[in-house]
Amino acid sequence: MNNHIYQERRNALAKHIFSKTGSGLAVISTAPELTRNRDSEYPYRYDSDFFYLTGFEEPGATLVLQVQKNGKGFELQSHLFCRPKDLEREIWDGIRLGPEAAPKELGIEFAHSNKELDEKLSEMLADQDAVYIRLAESAEADRRLRHWMKQVRSQARSGINPPSALHDVEELIHEMRLFKDAHEIDIMRRAAAISARAHIRAMQICKPGMREYQLEAELLYEFRNSGAQSVAYNSIVAGGANSCILHYRAGSTELRSGELCLIDAGCELDGYASDITRTFPVNGKFTGPQRALYDITLAAQEAAVAMTKPGNTFIQPHEAALKVLTQGLLDEKLLKLSEIGSLENAIATGAYRRFYMHRTSHWLGMDVHDVGSYREQTEHASKEEKPWRVLKSGMVITIEPGLYVRPADDIDEKFWNIGIRIEDDAVIQDGGCELISRGVPVKADEIEALMKNA
Ligand SMILES: [Mn+2]
């Protein structure tokens, strides 16, 4: 077990609470089970923050951290509330860890049945300075908090004070999650390697006449056969014109010779996402116009990768990619220099947005669009003035430029319905970054060679 990892994270969170308000009580519940239809449920996925602090995968659980000032330092007591053992339910739903076994198994100080949550919380909140919760999480969470507070307030005459401040616990946890430790990066490397293999498999199997859902099945096969528990997000398998729809899902469109197929798919392994996009010709050979836009997109990605290093800001890779993409649009006359005047003007006016309408990067971690602030948390600046976050070792971002050309009267028909995105996952480290998703080829020639030899 890696219990010490979770203990260290709980301690780090307690330290943040201590420096903010001295003492405090943090309450973090895992995700609820969700009904898909009638009495069928979606596959269960724990809450990322909760799992980050406990390593515990069962539903129905809440973590409570009690931070108390102690001389100059603080003392932390961790309490887990979890489903009690229930032999009847366990026959149907599976084995529960239960509060008796939880402390030893999870390395947590105290464990209780989740049926005691309301009663215990009302006690624990007494004489606490501050409560750390997810603000405005849900009506149910608000109702519970109101109930606990009411219980504490009712004891006011016996000298017990309710907490007087509410703080957002997510802000603290998300800042921690932004920096991945060695344990996390190791999992993310393995997740990306599995996803890369899945992309290779899809490219090798792809033939004109197949349907998008058949390639989705190949991706899933590789994910699950490699031990990944799930997709990190719904797979995009987009043939032809569908490649220009950013959040398209794998559908039943036939993949046709002469068209492109864009796959944006990644597995989730042990709670961590991978996120890879590749675009390839359905028949294994790029057409001239496809190749031209592909090479521009790849050059844009290379420019962004070169800017992905400690000390640069989050937006610098995007700006580098944007410059290359926009120059490429001018070179291919998709943007007309005579109308726009200059590259600088094409960027300043946002003329490129017709063909590139998303950012180049997002944080990647337990959640595919991972948590963490994209702006520096400076004290006095207004939101607009807040500078972009400075990249540091341990952060993980995607680098995913794209070009999308929809049919239009003023666009040369040879470019119609070409949608291209190239996405890799980058771990920022001293001097630069490591692309952990390059197990799958990215150069046009290499993709063609891979498909030809399949
Ligand atoms: Mn992405």
SS (H, E, C) the chain: CCHHHHHHHHHHHHHHHHHHHCCEEEEEECCCCCEEECCEECCCCCCHHHHHHHCCCCCCCEEEEEEEEECCEEEEEEEEEECCCCHHHHHHHCCCCHHHHHHHHHCCCEEEEHHHHHHHHHHHCCCCCEEEECCCCCHHHHHHHHHHHHHHHCCHHHCCCCCCEEEEHHHHHHHHHCCCCHHHHHHHHHHHHHHHHHHHHHHHHCCCCCEHHHHHHHHHHHHHHCCCCEECCCCEEEEHHHHHCCCCCCCCCECCCCCEEEEEECEEECCEECCEEEEEECCCCCCHHHHHHHHHHHHHHHHHHHCCCCCCECCHHHHHHHHHHHHHHHHCCCCCHHHHCCHHHHHHCCHHHHCCCCCCCCECCCCCCCCCCCECCCCCCCCCCCCECECCCCCEEEECCEEEECCCCCCCHHHCCEEEECEEEEEEECCEEEECCCCCCCCHHHHHHHHHCC
Measured CA distances, 110 to 31, 64, 101, 239, 379 (Å)? 21, 10, 10, 53, 37
pTM of the shown model: 0.96
Active site residue 264: yes
Per-domain residue ranges of the chain:
3-177, 182-452
Active site residue 400: yes
Q: Is the pLDDT of residue 63 over 70?
A: yes
Distance 367 CA to ligand 1 centre (A): 11
pLDDT digits (tens, 9 = 90+) for 227-238: 999 999 999 999
Distance 138 CA to ligand 1 centre (A): 27
Contact 317, 394 (CB under 8 A): no
What pLDDT is stored for residue 381 in this prediction? 62
Catalytic residue among 46, 362, 370, 424: 362
Architecture of domain 182-452: Alpha-Beta Complex (3.90)
Active site residue 423: yes
Same fold yes or no, 3-177 and 182-452: no
Q: How much of the chain exceeds pLDDT 70, in percent?
A: 98
Cβ burial, residue 310 (10 Å; 0-12/13-18/19+): middle
Residues with CB under 5 A from ligand 1 (ion): 275, 398
Active site residue 268: no
Task: Specify the residue for token string 């003329």.
Answer: 351
**Encoded amino acid at 205, one letter:** I
Mean pLDDT of 145-172: 90
Active site residue 49: no
Best CA proximity match to 194, nearest among 250, 278, 301, 276: 276
pLDDT grade, residue 244 (50/70/90)? very high
Distance (Å, whole) CA 416 – CA 406: 5
Catalytic residue among 291, 358, 359, 375: 358
Question: Which letter, b or e, does each residue of 384-396 get, where b requires 16 or more Cβ atoms within 10 Å of its Cβ?
Answer: eeeeebebeebbb
Domain 3-177 -> CATH class? alpha beta
Cα angle for residues 247, 188, 426 (degrees, 5° grid): 70
Catalytic residue among 4, 89, 146, 369: 369
Active site residue 183: no
What is the number of alpha carbons within 13 Å of residue 185 lying toward its C-beta? Answer: 18
Distance 276 CA to ligand 1 centre (A): 7
pLDDT digits (tens, 9 = 90+) for 79-117: 999 999 999 999 999 999 999 999 999 999 999 999 999
pLDDT digits (tens, 9 = 90+) for 384-442: 678 999 999 999 999 999 999 999 999 999 999 999 999 999 999 999 999 999 999 99
Active site residue 318: no
